[in-house]
Amino acid sequence: MLGELGLGIGTAVDLIGVGNYYLNPDAKLVTSPGKAGLNFGIGLYALKLNPMAGIVYFGIDATIGWDEAFRIQAAEHKLYREIYGDRYSIDAIMKF
């Protein structure tokens, strides 16, 4: 029930943001149609198949945002490359 409510509220907010995207692009709440579709798709996936995916996705989206998350990841990757040189690779880290 809580998941359905969250998906409904999030979709309503995104619909308002998409309206602003076309009609009032300078508004504070603006959402591109692609982002709204992605949010809805992740919400449905999380609701029906994998709640943890929704928790992670919307947790990042609602706090620091994806742009900042990717900036942080890129900065860490660069730092590790400076420290470890060619020995550092994401492939080596991903092997458990």
52 and 16 assigned to the same domain: yes
74 and 59 assigned to the same domain: no
- State the Cα–Cα distance between residues 80 and 73, nearest whole angstrom: 11
pLDDT of residue 92: 60
Q: How far is CA 59 from the centre of its chain?
A: 8
42 and 79 assigned to the same domain: no
Based on the structure, what is the number of domains in the chain? 2
29: left (phi over 0), alpha (psi -120 to 50) or beta: beta
43 and 72 assigned to the same domain: no
Domain with 71, as residue range(s), is 66-96
Q: What does the longest C-alpha to C-alpha distance in the chain come to?
A: 51
31 and 73 assigned to the same domain: no
56 and 80 assigned to the same domain: no
More confident call, 60 vs 91? 60
Among 34-43, 49-58, 76-85, which stretch is predicted with the lowest mean pLDDT?
Answer: 76-85
pTM recorded for the entire structure: 0.75
In this predicted structure, the answer to whether residue 96 has a pLDDT above a threshold of 60 is no
73 and 93 assigned to the same domain: yes
Q: List phi, psi (to 5°) of 45.
A: -60, -45
What's the average model confidence in pLDDT over 8-31? 96
